[in-house]
Structure 1
Amino acid sequence: MDDPGNAVLTRLPGLSRRVFIGGAALTALLAACGTGTTAQTTPTTEPAKTPKRGGVLKAGSPPPPTKVDPVTMYDGTAIAIVQLVADYLIWLDKDFTLEPRLAEKWETTDGGTTWTFTIRQGVTFSDGTPLDAETVKASFDRLLDPDSKSAALSAFDGVLKAGGVAAPDTHTVTFTLERAFSDFPYLVSAGNYNALILKKDYTGGGDIIGTGPFTLTTYDVSTGAVFTRNPTYWQEGKPYLDGVEIKFYADDQADLLALQSGEIDAQILSRPQLVGPLKGAGDIVVDQVPGTGLTAFTLRTDQPPFDRKENRQAVAYALDRPGVNTTIYDGVGALGNDHLFAALFPAAPTDIPQRAKDPAKVAELLGGQKLSFDLTFDPPSKDLALTLQNQLKQAGIEVQLDQRTSADFYGGDQEKDTPWLFTAANLVGWAGRAVPSQFIIPMVRSDGVWNGSKYANPALDEAAQAYDAATTEEDRRAQAAIIATALHEDVPVIISVWAGTVRAYNGTKFAGVQAHPASYVDFSEVTAL
């Protein structure tokens, strides 16, 4: 079992455990969530400058830790490789706007429990196989099969189950949900990163054939992957590049040195702390966007010392959040306020005062009692753990660091003793989500599959259900306020910073390389200079 989702640095949620990414500009409230209302936009147009055809972009990335399989993948490198080859029904733009890809439009009926997608006509896979509705149905049937062990299952949990997908004709796919879910298009978009459309006969082998802008020519688990332009790509005239090469580097420093030396032209997964000093210097451009990724500082609410709410609040008031943002995220992130609505989410409340460092409040909440606890984490969270330990020590709170290997941290029995869900306090990296429900449902609902805080609040559960079914922005905001207020007050998880995302590249050689909140790659519009 891996962490739920630091797609940028490691992986995403899964058991499916992660869900990359994942916030949302609700385009027309995702098909307006109203009966018969259609959400529809136009695919991205060409870059402002006249694109130049030709050239090969060389990008660096860590080697994927597991097999590059679209169904089960969860790490950023594997996701990038597959996204160059395969496509989604809907792409998720850098501001989380839904952009039609293999689906031309979608609409909902039956109060948001039935969703109908119109499949783009004339699209073929790179081997010439036509795309049709049955192929789309097969892709989602595969993801919904528990035996597939897909990292997409958690996103569909309680919303869509096996047998809920139908193809009434060659260009129509319908999804019948278990309950009304107004954000459903996000679950079949790139926001659910495993939701790629594959051939009906895909069985998990290494031969990945898709409808995307490139075809995978060679892949070596030790050195990298080579891609060539897909001549049958459905977006006419794209991609502009002849190909892409992804080279694997064992560590971030080697990747950075390769960029600086010109050995590569761009990074797939850039770290803000490392590329920040390169901004405005030389040929390197660092593109950055806000995001919805986070590291949850989880506190067990069902056992000492955090069964006492005041102790949880004291820890929250002891933190210097701007300091965390500067130290860990190079200032790219946005301050968190201990609820699960990032500012990127349209329904995010704006009237809850931002929690800030307040030593006097900490002392008042502790009431003269000493607070000491163990903080458990795995290596990707080490720098944050050290920063939090230092900040809490200044407030008189003693923290003993308990670093585990990633295998140990996410290992064990997921029902009773895995450290990431059962220790008194821990740090878990979650990749950004496209909609807040992808955090709320698994993390803080009473029956949440990844509820490491063991938090149970019937009022929050009811509001979360109502939020998912809401068909107007007013109703959505009302339920969001209930959820956010409860989390801010009860503090089962501390959200100190919402992580932004950066991508570094050589701006003298290529244009069109962009950062993405989920570290996704879309090189179809990249052009050589």
Structure 2
Amino acid sequence: MTMGTERDNYWTRPNRRFARRTFIAGAGSLAAGLAISACGGGDDDDSTGETPTGQGTPSGQQTQPGATTAATPKKGGTLRIGSSIYPSTFEHMAYAGLTGDGRVYNQLLKLETGQKLVGDLAEKWEVPDPTTYVFQLRKGVKFQNLAPVNGRELTAEDVVYTVERARKQEFLTRQLWTALDTIVATDPYTVKVTLKQPFAPMLFHFGTSVMGVLAREVVEQFGDLKDPKSRIGTGPFMLTEARRDEALIYKANPDYFEAGLPYLDGVEITIIPDRLGRTVALRSGQVDVLTRNAGISDMGEATRGTDDIEVGISIAENVTGFGFQHPFEPFKDLRVRQAVSFAVDRQEWVRAAGGSDEGGKVIGFVHPFEDPYALSEEETGKLQRLDLAEAKKLMEAAGYADGFELSTMSSSADTAGLDALAVIQQQLAKINIKVKPDPNDFATYVRRLGTKQFDSYFNGWPTILDPGQNFNGNLTTNSPQNYWNANVPELDAMNAKQLVETDPDVRAGLIQDMERWNYKNPVCIPAYALGGWTAWQKYVKDYDHARPGNAAGWQDQLVWLDK
């Protein structure tokens, strides 16, 4: 039997994570270098729950987790955040990024910086055997005092209801629970989970923000969770107003179970689609925090001529890449997919999207931070090699020496990705593939992605939680996020083995083999994890810019304003 309040062995520590490194730069030290960390993807981090995206620190550069201070936190004030994206849906179980709202909801477990799982609604848990998990809930946790729950106490039945709802066919969250046999409330504060077989990523699924615990009566009243008014949980903030494409307004939950938290009276997220406009809003004092901007080329604009703004740099957690529809020609032919892989220079994508060679990192499906699961940089470089002669040879063998036209869908909100897509156009033109970019507003992009209405697409995959999940969740034949309709029985068999493997070292080898397989038989083409920057006014304290994207904002309860 194993027990814990955080991960302390294989079953409560599904993988061995890196120690994230980040740094804060003032106006005079932005050019010093980059530091490793992790954050969301695209142009923004998790400010609206919509994302799911280096170099070592320079000699002598102090590393810190964020805007931290040893001073006593002050109560009051509203944190004003500038973000680029309004939520595409409030029905978070149907959202392609599989992230929820950490300001409103709590899960059984939660992610801290460094991808460490700790208790949230679960005070403790035990794993008596590899297929059984028992969670003991905190007592006295109340739902927010809003109709129809009106501040009633949360119980184990609410956890059971949430998981059972997530297993429904209409929700993307169903992929998280394929190994689940039963989940029952054995008493008002105990949840017992039984699996069909050992499942290595299971604890991470209880910690993902998309599994924020719901009240049955909220769903029964609203029918679904598409109405912002249905966003009612147990979290530190209450969503009190949502103005489409304009703003999200949160107020502190006075009945929050963490004593003394949140420090803030509220959080206001202003939607500013224009990248330069967000920077102007920060410099003019209209917002306190500018959430993650992809790339580093314009980072200096935030602090130019001022000592009142700090900047944190991070590398995205998610994977940006190039995917295609498999059932149709030409990508039905493996040789065409292989040709595309040989024809692209992924480092040029990083330069275009990130502003320099240091603006991101070329990666595979397993993030390089996922040691020991990731392949070495040397092996990755060989597998990702640029070989135009081989690419042309494969195109000719497949009958496409003269090439073809290819519509490539992307999100217009991902300006860095659009820059990389322009480079892809140039690269694939060398093997006579004429790429036609097809940018969409974010809501349309998510809808088309989920309904598989595209020929190819270039963007990111959801935030990494477990090292095998980018395969299990995106590449396998029956995954709801197999957007490219790939039929890959060989990879399915490899994936089935890694999911049930209880030895971390053996599992690492299986996942590495899956990475090698995808390079030789491209289901799609992973490209890079993008660097990016977050900026905040110096009076904003304890703002952790390296927060995991999937944490979806719960850390705002720890932020305070020194003014």
TM-score (normalizing by structure 1): 0.78
The 8 Å contact of residues 314 and 365 in structure 1, kept in 2 or not, is answered as yes
Other-structure match for 1:514:
545
Paired residue type of 1:240: Y
Other-structure match for 2:375:
349
Other-structure match for 2:525:
494
The 8 Å contact of residues 410 and 419 in structure 1, kept in 2 or not, is answered as no
1:18-51: per-residue Cα shift (whole Å, max 9, x none)? 99549xxxxxxxxxxxxxxxxxxxxx9x954432
SS at 1:496 equivalent: strand
SS at 2:102 equivalent: helix
The 8 Å contact of residues 179 and 196 in structure 2, kept in 1 or not, is answered as yes
| Alignment of structure 1 residues 440-451 onto 2, 5 Å | 440-451=471-482
Other-structure match for 1:335:
362
SS at 1:270 equivalent: strand
Q: Select which of 201, 204, 220 maps to 1:183.
A: 201
The 8 Å contact of residues 19 and 431 in structure 1, kept in 2 or not, is answered as no
- After superposing the two structures, state which structure 1 stretch, 52-61 or 476-485, moved more: 52-61
Q: Select which of 290, 299, 304 maps to 1:267.
A: 290
Distance 2:309 2:85 in 1: 23
1:433-464: per-residue Cα shift (whole Å, max 9, x none)? 31244321343223334435554443322221
Other-structure match for 1:152:
173
1:312-370: per-residue Cα shift (whole Å, max 9, x none)? 33322332222211211344432124xx2111334223263412334455456556944
Is 1:315 the counterpart of 2:340 in the alignment? yes
**Aligned sequence identity (%):** 23
Q: Select which of 75, 78, 93 maps to 1:53.
A: 75
Distance 1:275 1:453, change over 3 A: same
Q: Select which of 478, 485, 491 maps to 1:460.
A: 491
| Alignment of structure 1 residues 87-486 onto 2, 5 Å | 87-111=106-130, 113-127=131-145, 128-146=151-169, 149-156=170-177, 158-160=178-180, 164-190=182-208, 193-203=209-219, 204=225, 206-221=229-244, 223-268=246-291, 270-272=293-295, 276-278=299-301, 281=304, 282=306, 283-300=308-325, 304-330=329-355, 331-337=358-364, 340-346=365-371, 347-350=373-376, 352-354=379-381, 355-362=384-391, 365=394, 369-380=401-412, 381-393=417-429, 395-403=430-438, 405=440, 418-420=452-454, 423=455, 425-486=456-517
Distance 1:231 1:411, change over 3 A: closer
Distance 2:212 2:427 in 1: 43
SS at 1:378 equivalent: strand
| Alignment of structure 1 residues 54-73 onto 2, 5 Å | 54-62=76-84, 64-66=86-88, 68-72=90-94
SS at 2:207 equivalent: coil
Distance 1:447 1:216, change over 3 A: closer
Distance 1:288 1:353 in 2: 24
Distance 1:75 1:353 in 2: 26
Distance 1:360 1:73, change over 3 A: closer
| Alignment of structure 1 residues 23-38 onto 2, 5 Å | none
The 8 Å contact of residues 328 and 383 in structure 1, kept in 2 or not, is answered as yes
The 8 Å contact of residues 375 and 427 in structure 1, kept in 2 or not, is answered as no
Distance 1:413 1:458, change over 3 A: closer
TM-score (normalizing by structure 2): 0.74
Flag structure 2 segments of 5+ consecutive residues without an equivalent. Answer: 1-39, 54-65, 146-150, 220-224
| Alignment of structure 1 residues 8-23 onto 2, 5 Å | 8=42, 21=52
Distance 2:286 2:504 in 1: 48
SS at 1:186 equivalent: helix
Aligned-pair distance for 1:390?
Answer: 1.3
Other-structure match for 2:36:
none
Aligned-pair distance for 1:121?
Answer: 2.4
Distance 2:138 2:297 in 1: 41
Aligned-pair distance for 1:120?
Answer: 1.9
Report the number of matched residues. Answer: 478
Distance 2:342 2:117 in 1: 37
The 8 Å contact of residues 41 and 530 in structure 2, kept in 1 or not, is answered as no
Paired residue type of 2:120: R
Aligned-pair distance for 1:84?
Answer: 1.5
Aligned-pair distance for 1:196?
Answer: 0.6
Distance 1:452 1:235 in 2: 40
Distance 2:163 2:499 in 1: 21
Aligned-pair distance for 1:386?
Answer: 1.5
Distance 1:527 1:298, change over 3 A: same
Aligned-pair distance for 1:376?
Answer: 2.2
Aligned-pair distance for 1:171?
Answer: 1.7
Distance 1:116 1:501 in 2: 39
Paired residue type of 1:132: T
Distance 1:451 1:510 in 2: 41
Distance 1:512 1:65 in 2: 22
The 8 Å contact of residues 297 and 354 in structure 2, kept in 1 or not, is answered as no
1:484-526: per-residue Cα shift (whole Å, max 9, x none)? 1111111221111123454322234444242434273221221
Distance 2:525 2:82 in 1: 33
